[in-house]
Amino acid sequence: MTSASVVSSARTEHRPTAGATASVRTRRIRQSARELLGDGEPVTFRPGQEEALQAVCAGRDTLAVLPSGAGKSLVYTVAGELLDGPVVVVSPLIALQHDQVQRLQHLGLTATLLNSAQSATEQQAALDGLRDGTVRFLFLAPEQLSRSQVVAALAATAPALLVLDEAHCVSAWGHDFRPDYLRVGAVVEQLGSPTVLALTATASPPVRSEIVERLRMSDPAVVVAGFDRPEIALEVEHHADADRKTAALLDRAVAEAERGVGIVYSATRAGTVELAEALVARGLRARNYHAGLPKAEREDVQRAFMADELDVVVATTAFGMGIDKPDVRFVLHAEPADSVDSWYQEIGRAGRDGEPAVAVLFFRQEDLGLRRFFAAGVPAEEDLQQVAGLVRAGAAAGVQVDVAALRAETHRGASPVTRDLNLLEQVGAVVLADDGTVTPAPDGPAPGAAATAARQAAEHHQRVDASRVEMMRGFADTTGCRRQHLLGYFGEELAEPCDNCDTCRSGSAAAGPAPAATGDFPVDSAVEHSEWGPGVVLREEGDRIVVLFEQAGYRTLATAAVRDHQLLRLRAA
């Protein structure tokens, strides 16, 4: 009998409840993990895993911020074996769902998925299996939660645990905000208020706060295992000339490929094509990857990368979430990422086996203009009002409205129409169904009010996105320890320079600004600015402080100016 089957047959014998003592829960958690994952041998938990398991198995809503490659899925796998009731996992990508289901099935556990690519019969079979107990884990995309029949069917199974993977997607402060994630918090009560487990590798303090709020988590345990990935050397190469920058990146990719496989990120689809062709010309096995490629080609690139048939994948950010290859030795960025959050997540693909890896940003000040272009663009209020009005009119006439119909009616492209719909959904005006149809939200605002609110939301996103770009500039330009700078962004302090970044090796980190002593505005203090309104202090950095303002986004302020001109005042948190 395998260890997995032991867990299944003995499941009722060691199920902790909220009333169990911590010591009993610990013993049962370790026993289950040993039987499930350790072939009878003790399992060594990574930082944060056991603490998160303790909280979940005690019935507490839990936000677990665990580094990339730190085994976030182990938390819901073990918890699912110990709790009474099925586990529903909300995951953003179908490909990622497939990988997670296969992993659980490999362990001998019963898992399946529910998505729009399935037939109605397959979808019903998945829900039936969850209800009758033949399926323990069900994976679905957040879009499925817009379907009332799906929510009702899930509620009938009385799930014990609702898991939100990649939970930073629920936060407007997060780097990968997705409006469809907003519906998750609304359905928790409809599902019978199961324990909620939110998982992410990337969440700065403001993002954590918003995740808790959006998911309506009750007295949550917040487990932050630490953001440091000391095995990844951090470097920034500054270039004034675009051609020389590209040449340097190609040289570095060829050199690093002698140690192992890697990923090169480019900000544009055209950039992925050009760089991949240049690397092939230099003798590397390289292919490009972006969202505009046919699905079959994207899947083949990913398969080849995982099978060690490629030295390098040159990709946009479309290649990232769900990529779990332990032996990636390098991640190079041809342009700065749109935020420090994104850059951290992308470099987190490297060194997951714990062995040395390197992350290099090839930086040119002019490249920030590209990121500002991507961050720019606020839709016209009349366009938003037109879309909202068409959705409402279609519903009144009993006509099915979808993106294709709206494109035909408005004579606009799919991308701007989809953007408008996402904004209107964010402000509670419309509901986007998994099948692509759009309906007015119950009790939603009228088209005029919805358009005004949606434009304001877009303007807010624009300000925040622009401020994130400036934070990326700050990381690239710092002469202090890059790891201290990076961890400080996420609210974590590294007492000493890391000795594994370019500024430490050059000596500039030692000569950089000393960490500031806690002054009038310590980290995490709530403040008010005369122009930018309320905010939270994120980092002290010698003669500067970084504040995240609710409306203006990230701002770096000179400590002397703050003091001399009384720019900030403390406020009640």
SS (H, E, C) 257-271: CCCCEEEEECCCHHH
Q: Is 333 helix (H, G, I), strand (E, B) or coil?
A: strand
| Structure token pair of residue 336 | 């700065």
Give the count of beta carbons closer than 10 Å to the beta carbon of residue 199: 24
Query: Which DSSP helix (H) or strand (E) runs through 364?
Result: none
What does the alpha-carbon distance between residue 438 and residue 271 come to, in Å, rounded to a whole number?
35
Residue 446 makes CB contacts below 8 A (sequence gap 6+) with none
Beta carbons within 8 Å of 325's beta carbon, 6+ residues apart: 261, 305, 306, 349, 352
382 Cβ contact partners less than 8 Å away, ≥ 6 residues apart = 451
Q: Which of 462, 425, 421, 460 is nearest to 445 (CA)?
A: 425
Q: What is the DSSP letter of 170?
A: G
CA distance 160 to 170: 21
pLDDT of residue 321: 65
pLDDT given at position 434: 61
CATH of domain 513-573: 2.30.30
Burial classification of residue 478, based on how many CB atoms lie within 10 Å of its CB (0-12 exposed, 13-18 middle, 19 or more buried)? buried
Residue 13 has a pLDDT of 34
Q: Which residue has the tokens 């953003």?
A: 92
> Please, what's the b/e burial string for 140-179 (b: 16 or more CB within 10 A of its CB; e: otherwise)?
bbbbbbbbeebbebbeebebbbbbbbbbbbbbbbbbbbbb
Hey, what are 421's tokens?
């719909």
CA–CA gap between residue 420 and residue 435 (Å, rounded)? 18
**Beta strands per DSSP E along 69-179:** 87-90, 111-114, 137-140, 161-164
The SS3 call for residue 553 is strand
| pTM more than 0.85 | no
d(CA 249, CA 251): 5
Q: What is the pLDDT of residue 373?
A: 61
- Domain range summary for the chain, segments of one domain joined by +: 3-224, 232-373, 381-460, 513-573
Three-state SS annotation for 39-53: CCCCCCCCCCHHHHH
The pLDDT, as a whole number, for residue 155 is 93
Segments of the chain scoring below 50 in pLDDT: 1-18, 513-518
pLDDT score, position 77: 92
Residue pair 29/57 in contact (Cβ under 8 Å)? The answer is: yes
Q: Which helix (H) or strand (E) holds 430?
A: strand 430-432
For residue 305, the model assigns a pLDDT of: 95
Domain 232-373 homologous superfamily, CATH: P-loop containing nucleotide triphosphate hydrolases (3.40.50.300)
Instruction: Select from 326, 451, 340 the least CA-distant residue to 388.
Output: 451
Q: Three-class SS string for 12-38? A: HHCCCCCCCCHHHHHHHHHHHHHHHHC
CA distance 523 to 114: 43
Which stretches of 291-407 are assigned E, i.e. beta strand? 312-315, 328-333, 357-363, 401-402
Whole-number Å distance between alpha carbons of 210 and 524: 15
User: Helix or strand or coil: residue 452?
Assistant: helix
Per CATH, 3-224 and 513-573 having the same topology is answered: no
Residue 6: how many CA atoms within 13 Å on its side-chain side?
13
Rounded-to-integer distance, Cα 166 and Cα 92, Å? 7
Q: What is the pLDDT of residues 48-100, one digit of tens each?
A: 899 999 999 999 999 999 876 657 888 999 999 899 899 999 988 777 788 88
Exposure of 78 by Cβ count < 10 A (0-12 exposed, 13-18 middle, 19+ buried)?
A: buried
- Distance, in Å, from the CA atom of 440 to the CA atom of 443, rounded to the nearest integer, reads 8
Q: What is the pLDDT of residue 33?
A: 85
Written as one string, the DSSP assignment of 502-551 is HHHHHTHHHHSPPPPPP-SS-TT-EEEETTTEEEEEEEEETTEEEEEETT
Assign residue 443 a region (left: φ > 0; alpha: ψ between -120 and 50; beta: otherwise): left
Burial class, 219, CB count within 10 angstroms (exposed 0-12 / middle 13-18 / buried 19+):
exposed
Assigned CATH for 3-224: 3.40.50.300
For the domain spanning 381-460, the CATH number is 1.10.10.10
Amino acid occupying residue 7: V
Distance of CA 475 to the CA centre of its chain: 20
